[in-house]
Structure 1
Amino acid sequence: MKQQLTNYFLKKAANQTPKQGKSINLEEAGSFLFLFSATSINEIKAIKSIVAQDEFKQKKITTLGVIDAKDLPEFRTEAHNFSFITNKDLNLLNLPKEEKLDEIQSAQFDVLINLAAEPNKSISYLALKANAGFKISKYQEEESFVYDFMINCKKDTSIVNFTAQVLHYLSLIK
């Protein structure tokens, strides 16, 4: 029942939120918002190595992780420039509270990339509400209404491979 209500509110918000859907290439993109589900230290390390890549050196990078816990776990010290949302920042439907939404709605991002390995309604809601010109995610049919571009990584679904695919496609856009 809770999942059905969450889906309802996510789709309702999608109908009320205009899609920007402006494709942009890697050279023109000046700011990136990376959303992810922070589940392990290995995931944090992978994301740290991704944002340190040369392609992102001259870009404004914002990282926001969703942690399924009441408090921040110890591995957050590994991610000293990352922001996090915990269960305390979510409402009863596991959607982010207004204060957290205000933070990502007040900034403008050229590209939003959802790095979550599995579908996550909290992250999809953040993506939906974020002020981003071009929203990218792994292919998730049930959340296709949120994103402008989705990539199906059938064989290798790792964060590193997905990011390589995103960079490849962003470099092809003219």
Structure 2
Amino acid sequence: MANTPIADVVLHPVRLRIVQQLGGRHLTTAQLRAALPNVTQATLYRHVAALIDAEIVTVVDERRVRGTIERTLALGDRMAHVGHDDLEAMSDAELRNAFLTFLGALGDSFDKFVDGEDRTLRNYLGFGTTPLYVTTDDLAKIQAGLAELLAPYRTDSGDDRVRVALTTAVIPTPPTTDPDEN
């Protein structure tokens, strides 16, 4: 399964949620179960196994806990990024399904936040859309700059920082046609 396109593995609702939980940190299987309470243990373990097999998730530690082996998981060498080649290879229907899966996982994260107990975290909430006018070179420069800017914040340093999800979507606006040209 390691040769399976990342999109085929990651763009399943449960697997996407697992990858999102692991981003930048190591979690035990028990912590992952607690973070995804509406996913049954058997389903969670089945999808974790698929992600490990695809080298998207890796086991970074194992320890014996009450007669069983508890694994600590992290994102693997392949990382969990669906690249431009993967997106280009998708049919229109597959691309729509992938985007809806992404939006569904984003909605679940939002619901979990809104339903949470800690109201002070609302200070971290923000969402919006900003139009940009760019060339493809401009966009590549922006994406590289964002990656560089965010790199120091992608790993849990163990101090008092709060984990937030910064979600981006780059969606080109199709050109409009002038109604007078017809």
Q: TM-score, normalised by structure 2?
A: 0.25
* Structure with the higher fraction of residues in strand conformation: 1
Q: Which has the larger radius of gyration?
A: 2
* Structure with the higher fraction of residues in helix conformation: 2
Which of structures 1 and 2 has the larger relative contact order (alpha carbons within 8 angstroms, sep 6+)? 1
